Structure 1
């Protein structure tokens, strides 16, 4: 049978930017966590070198009285499963990024997202500091190393890093830095800080 004149559409291959370089030797899973509306989807989308996968849905009346929307009343969509992106730190190291849903009613999904994660980024909104307490507690319970990134919202109050460390009851070994989740360079700096933190933690463990 002659298929040369077939009307079937050509199957498109993967885009160039979606293909991992042949030099890639290590792939690491990182989770981006935080309360509702702190900028997790924004960060994953800003830093990902591939088109990010998102599971954002329009917020409905089902969340009224359940989701804490204080400070983010303008928000109309929410992540209901996860966000996914990828970034190459160098020719050999690739990070796979998984953004978690922020509402407490979706936290049952966290267990699966945390499986195999080498480390985490905790995004912080200083207007709603209290929503981060449970998030950090869950990471500490699971023994997942993390860094804290304070997302710079225009109307958010600014606090010295050490005041934030005290409020969050974090040891000096946990890095805290300020970032703008909308900017790729800023988000990448957060991930590099996490990589350095993980390397330092591994060195300490080996020395014991």
Structure 2
């Protein structure tokens, strides 16, 4: 029945539609502590307009949230970020960015559900916030790679020194990146996909 007074629900933008050649889709999670660049990474690499759930940071978060960088950061993700990138005509990656504030970590279980792998973004100024993130992924059996986001004022260390500091296994890839750059973010995702391929070939991917 046609209701002339009803609003028309807009369809997806033409550039947001899934390519008709796509045959397989993979869910990946972009995880990390507060302010490490998860929203920026999803936004820089996504071929569609990314979905974000950022809310303005308020005084109510003082003493509760991690306030590192709050002098320049005015919003924080409260649910998830979502984007999509096609790595070939047939393979599509769905990207889910986790909230960084600890009080929203209860949402992580749902975001990890069905994920084939994850990227853990690291800020060398706050390596300690990465341990809980990696621990949660290990508990759920989600393979991950570590991407060191190159903040302009962050100290630089040799990657093998960071591997030791993070207590990473020898086979877990660790890579430097600049999540503001699409090519750099894409390289991180390709590193993860190659790692997952290696795990599958050796029977270590569940």
TM-score, normalization: structure 1?
0.93
Are the equivalent residues in 2 in contact too, given 1:87–1:96 (CA < 8 A)? yes
Q: Hey, what does 1:68 align to over in structure 2?
A: 66
List alignment gaps of at least 5 residues for structure 1.
Answer: none
Q: Hey, what does 1:162 align to over in structure 2?
A: 160
Are the equivalent residues in 2 in contact too, given 1:71–1:128 (CA < 8 A)? no
Are the equivalent residues in 2 in contact too, given 1:149–1:177 (CA < 8 A)? yes
Q: Distance in 1 between the 2:122 and 2:149 partners?
A: 6
Are the equivalent residues in 2 in contact too, given 1:41–1:54 (CA < 8 A)? yes
Q: Distance in 2 between the 1:61 and 1:206 partners?
A: 46
Given candidates 75, 78, 81, the residue that maps to 1:77 is: 75
Q: Which moved more, 1:12-21 or 1:111-120?
A: 12-21
Q: Distance in 1 between the 2:35 and 2:204 partners?
A: 38
List alignment gaps of at least 5 residues for structure 2.
Answer: none
Q: Distance in 2 between the 1:33 and 1:206 partners?
A: 22
Q: SS at 2:146's partner residue? A: strand
Q: Hey, what does 2:123 align to over in structure 1?
A: 125
> What are the within-5 Å matches in structure 2 for residues 26-105 of structure 1?
26-105=24-103
Gap change, CA 1:11 and 1:61, over 3 Å in 2: closer
Given candidates 108, 114, 126, the residue that maps to 1:116 is: 114
Give, in angstroms, the shift of residue 22 of structure 1. 1.4
Are the equivalent residues in 1 in contact too, given 2:29–2:111 (CA < 8 A)? yes
Are the equivalent residues in 1 in contact too, given 2:35–2:68 (CA < 8 A)? no
**Larger of the two Rg values belongs to structure:** 1
TM-score, normalization: structure 2?
0.93
Size of the alignment, in residue pairs? 203
Q: Distance in 2 between the 1:7 and 1:68 partners?
A: 48
Q: Distance in 2 between the 1:41 and 1:197 partners?
A: 23
Q: Distance in 1 between the 2:125 and 2:6 partners?
A: 55
Per-residue CA deviation, residues 25-71 of structure 1 (Å, 9 max, x unaligned), is 10010000000000000000000001000000000112100112234
Q: Hey, what does 1:177 align to over in structure 2?
A: 175
